[in-house]
Structures are given as C-alpha cells and as structure tokens.
Amino acid sequence: MPGRGLPFELFLALRYLRARGQRANLSLFVWIGVGGVFLGVSALIVVLAVMTGFQDGIKDRIIAANPHILVVERAGRGVAGASEVASRVRSIRGVLSATPFVVQQALFTGQGRGATGGLLRGVDLASPTVRAQLAGEVKTGSVDPLLRPSGEPAILLGRELARTLGVVPGDRVTLISPESAMTGVGLVPKMRRFEVAGYVEVGLHEYDASLAYTGIAAAQEFAGLGDRVSGVEVKLDDPFDAKEVGRRIAAVVGPGLWIRDWMGMNRNLFAALQLEKLALFVIVTIIVLVAGFAIIGHLILLVAEKR
C-alpha cells in the first residue's frame, strides 16, 4: 500500500493537500475552503448555543417570578371560596403548592418625587413555600413587616420601581386605585399608605420596574374584593408539565374557572425568541453552504487539471 500503510483514500487526500509545484494553488484553495467550512460550522454552533442559553435563561427567570398555573374567574369578578379551590388543587399529582392571590393595578406615589403605574400583588404569606420564594427575591430589607397582623401595612417594591419613586426601606408610599369609592361628596380615588419594607429583584426589568408585594389581606382591602381573591396561583414540581397538570386542574375545579399556564401567558415572547434563533440558524447555514460550494468548485478544478 502507498503512503507507508495509510489507507488509500487518506493517502490521496493528504497528497493533494500538500501538493507542490503546479498544484500548489489548488492546494491553497482547498485549505481556504476547509477553513471556511470550519469557521462557518463553528459560528453555527456558537450562535445556537448562545441563543439556546439566552432562551433558557429567560425561561428560568419567568418560571421563578411567576406562578406556573393561574386559576381565575372567567368574568373577572374574583374567585369566591379560594381556600376550598386551593385545597382541591393541592391534592392533584404534580402540584407543589396552591395559594390564593390578589393583583391590582395602582398608581404609586413617593414622598414628593413623582408617580408611576404598577401592579400590587397580594400573596398568602401563611404558606411556607410562598414566603420562602419571596424571601429569596428580597435583596434589601425583610419580609417580616408584611407579617404584622395590625397597624400600617407594609410593601416590598421592585428595585427599579423603588428607584423611580426615590424611596428606601422605612419610607412611605401611597397607592391610588383606579377604582373610585363613593362618598357623600361623590366619587373619590381610593388611596392607601404603605410602609416600604424592602426591595425585591427578579432580574427582568419589566417586573422590577412595575411589581410590588404585600400581604393578601391588605391587597383585598385595597382592591375592594371583600372575601374574594383574584385567583389561585399554582406552583408545580415540573414547570414544563404545566399543560398536563392544567388539564387535571380544569377537571377538578369545574367549568366556572379559567386555567392559564405560564407557557400560554408568555407565548408571544417565546415565539419571538424562536423566530430570532431560526433566522440566525438560516444565516449561518448559508455561510457554511457558501464554503461548501467553494470546496466543490476547487475539487472540480482539481479533477479537470488531473484529466
């Protein structure tokens, strides 16, 4: 065998890659083509890895900041008997926790430093799971003031929201509800004063700039829901099993309630990320194809020269 025991195909390839004399230019072209394929494939792998990591990072932050499934009333009047609904949901396989919550839009005003809109979210701090999750998001301050049974209610602000209002733990903020209250002089805005207990930071600017947490009783009073709540939030053992568990929950709670999972609520965001990933894949694949056609062209020239 030629080439000191090398397989014939490998011997022939190495011979023309190391060609000299009249074939030197062809050898150079082949090396350029191989380098182009190498760079193109490397770019394709890097782009797909970066986009996949970016998409997974956003998913992790959304999963950490939001309930995996929401159980809400279809007409938006609030869920009555939330404790019973939560108890039935907790009995379903795959459910880690199920707690009532209240969410209400509000205008946040600081101590003479402007105002901004946001969401007040009332959570059930009697649940160890909810309390531990909220404590994990607190970067400055503490959850303890929110556990006070009486006195002025406390609130945890998103870091960017607190920065916009110019408040620090211990300051007061006033929340103005879009729903007015009827008094003897007519409709007046419903307002409530809260003590800032600290900051929370999710890591997504959209949440950190608009979200605030308080106890569920204070949120019910501010939203005027009485003994009703906005819905029941559900955490799962496996967030990616939300579709299947959602069907089980719908079968248990009945037709009067609406089941929403985190995948459906963020469908547009994930669709945009997937489209961006596909576009980059197509662009880099074209680069690889161009390099591949260059190699084919050089091989055709080599065959013609040999002939």
Structure tokens at 229: 């709540």
Q: How far is CA 176 from the centre of its chain?
A: 28
What pLDDT does residue 144 have?
87
3-state secondary structure the chain: CCCCCCCHHHHHHHHHHCCCHHHHHHHHHHHHHHHHHHHHHHHHHHHHHHHHHHHHHHHHHHHHHCCCEEEEECCCCCECCHHHHHHHHHCCCCEEEEEEEEEEEEEEECCCCCEEEEEEEEECCCCHHHHHHHHHHEEEECCHHHHCCCCCCEEEEEHHHHHHHCCCCCCEEEEEEEEEEEECCEEEEEEEEEEEEEEECCCCHHHHCCEEEEEHHHHHHHHCCCCCECEEEEEECCHHHHHHHHHHHHHHHCCCEEEEEHHHHCHHHHHHHHHHHHHHHHHHHHHHHHHHHHHHHHHHHHHHHHC
What is the rounded distance in angstroms from the CA atom of residue 180 to the CA atom of residue 190? 5
Residue 300 has pLDDT above 60, yes or no: yes
Residue 208 has pLDDT above 80, yes or no: yes
Residue position matching structure tokens 């469908």: 267
Query: To the nearest whole number, what is the mean pLDDT of the chain?
Result: 81
Q: What's the angle, vertex CA 302, arms to CA 298 and CA 307, rounded to 5?
A: 150
With beta carbons less than 8 A apart as the criterion, state whether 66 and 231 touch: no
Q: pLDDT per residue over 31-81, tens digit each?
A: 776 777 787 778 778 878 888 888 788 777 777 777 888 888 877 778 888
What pLDDT does residue 113 have?
66
Highest mean pLDDT among 37-46, 68-77, 161-170, 275-284 belongs to 161-170
What is the rounded distance in angstroms from the CA atom of residue 170 to the CA atom of residue 194? 10
- Model's pTM, two decimal places? 0.70
Q: pLDDT per residue over 93-126, tens digit each?
A: 888 888 899 988 888 988 766 788 889 999 888 8
Task: List the domain boundaries for the chain.
Answer: 8-60+269-306, 75-255
Q: Which amino acid is at 234?
A: V
With beta carbons less than 8 A apart as the criterion, state whether 160 and 205 touch: yes
Structure tokens at 52: 């996949």
